[in-house]
């Protein structure tokens, strides 16, 4: 996910962004992150031995996967863990940490494939996975097109991450009667994120940006995948009731949508020293977000025409990026998306107040995560 100071980039005083604590400082996420990191390290160490027994060449995959799961906010494991806690799960049970950590392998797969489809050169300030494989081909002076090797290597690595996510969750140590219903949500989660990715791909290829389609992509590519389904997974693993699972949806869906809308704003107005990607890269890549849909719907005919001419231009200069940003702000789209974030966050807060959680401390943790996820500057 992108990290930036949206207010500084736009020259606007965006609401609610000042003084928001870092995500790692909230809801005990700092300690949880260390436990998730350890679980991933142990799992990948075992898988590395398996790969090594096949061929030493496969150490490249192990190395790149290890790099791919390093860093990040661990947001999905956090919602899974607190979904477990909200259903009365033992806070110190190491098995839920292993199960939650499996979501980072799923996230790694999604990132690899997303960067591949977007032809992104960088991720978190480093070369994207397909570019790393391409560079390997160049360094070793292998035969055939280096770019094609990069694409193939990234596809296979993403698929391997998907397989390992399944394996890690299945092997977390929780009993089958808990794993079976949990895998129902895990399966839905994977289907939904792939569906959302394809709808996003269609939007890019068709060159159309209806607002309802853009919001549907937000819901299935990100909101369910980032918040709702991890909550369901944790709740099901702890044996949560159907009422609690429904409450998790009422809280998680609007919160996940608000999270992605914030991400889209940061992706357009981001500081490259913080995001690790060139400024305005989402505009160069032609990402058909809700922000873009609202811009084209509200802009004057002349503004909309100018926006369409430059949007998606890989050679867009910093001046061109600034021009598109100005159109977004002038059209009122930025302010409209900010209002939508506030509305969705309020919906999540109202649902949280009614959720039948196991204890009030869990409720407080959910509130802190919601604040950080939707009002973050980094």
Q: Is the pLDDT of residue 159 over 90?
A: yes
pLDDT score, position 2? 40
Output the pLDDT for position 4: 35
pLDDT digits (tens, 9 = 90+) for 202-242: 988 888 778 999 999 999 999 999 999 999 999 999 999 99
Strand partners, 123: 126
pLDDT band of 18, cuts 50, 70, 90: very low
Higher pLDDT pick, 209 / 299: 299
* Residue closest to 343 by CA, chosen among 297, 293, 295, 290: 290
**For residue 119, what pLDDT band results from cuts at 50, 70 and 90?**
confident
Q: How confident is the model at residue 10 (pLDDT cuts 50, 70, 90)?
A: very low
Share of the chain above pLDDT 90, in %: 74
Domains contained in the chain, CATH given = 6-375 (1.10.600.10)
- Crossing angle of the two packed helices 29-54 and 59-69, in degrees rounded to 10: 170
Q: How far is CA 286 from CA 119, 162, 266, 283, 315, in A?
A: 11, 27, 15, 5, 12
Residues in CB range of 116: below 8 A, 6 or more apart: 128, 129, 130, 151, 154, 155, 158
- What contacts 78, CB < 8 A, 6 or more positions away? 27, 29, 32, 100, 369
Structure tokens given for 159: 């698929």
Mean pLDDT of the chain: 89
Q: Please tell me the least confidently modeled range out of 24-38, 70-84, 180-194, 242-256.
A: 24-38
Half-sphere exposure of 198 (CA within 13 A, CB side): 5
Q: What is the pLDDT averaged over residues 91-118?
A: 95
Residues 6+ apart with CB under 8 A from 283: 268, 310, 311, 312, 316, 321, 324, 325
Contact 160, 65 (CB under 8 A): yes
Dihedral sign for Cα 179, 355, 362, 253, please.
positive
């Amino acid at each position: 996910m992108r990290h930036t100071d949206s207010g500084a980039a736009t020259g606007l005083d965006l609401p609610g962004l000042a003084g928001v604590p870092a995500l790692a400082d909230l809801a005990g996420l700092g300690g949880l992150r260390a436990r998730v990191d350890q679980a991933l390290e142990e799992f990948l160490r075992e898988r590395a031995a398996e790969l090594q027994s096949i061929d030493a060449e496969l150490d490249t995959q192990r190395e790149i996967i290890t790099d791919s799961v390093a860093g990040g906010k661990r947001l999905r494991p956090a919602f899974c863990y607190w979904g477990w806690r909200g259903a009365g799960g033992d806070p110190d049970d190491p098995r839920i940490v292993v199960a939650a950590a499996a979501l980072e392998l799923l996230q790694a797969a999604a990132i690899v494939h997303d960067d591949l489809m977007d032809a992104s050169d960088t991720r978190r300030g480093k070369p994207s996975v397909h570019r790393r494989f391409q560079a390997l081909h160049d360094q070793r002076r292998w035969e055939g097109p280096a770019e094609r090797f990069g694409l193939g290597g990234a596809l296979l690595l993403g698929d391997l991450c998907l397989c390992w996510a399944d394996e890690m969750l299945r092997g977390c140590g929780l009993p089958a009667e808990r794993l079976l219903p949990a895998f129902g949500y895990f399966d839905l989660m994977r289907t939904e994120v792939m569906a959302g990715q394809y709808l996003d791909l269609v939007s890019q290829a068709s060159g159309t940006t209806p607002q309802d389609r853009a919001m549907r992509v937000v819901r299935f590519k990100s909101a369910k995948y980032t918040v709702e389904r991890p909550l369901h997974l944790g709740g099901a693993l702890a044996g949560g009731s159907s009422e609690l699972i429904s409450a998790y949806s009422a809280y998680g869906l609007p919160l996940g949508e608000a999270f992605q809308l914030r991400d889209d704003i940061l992706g357009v107005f981001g500081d490259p020293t913080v995001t690790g990607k060139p400024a305005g890269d989402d505009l160069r890549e032609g990402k058909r977000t809700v922000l873009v849909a609202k811009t084209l719907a509200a802009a004057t005919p002349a503004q909309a025409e100018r926006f369409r001419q430059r949007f998606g231009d890989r050679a867009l200069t910093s001046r061109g990026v600034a021009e598109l940003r100005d159109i977004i702000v002038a059209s009122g789209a930025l302010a409209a998306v900010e209002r939508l974030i506030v509305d969705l966050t309020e919906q999540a807060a109202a649902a949280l107040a009614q959720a039948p959680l196991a204890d009030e401390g869990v409720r407080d943790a959910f509130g802190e995560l919601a604040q950080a996820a939707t009002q973050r500057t980094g």
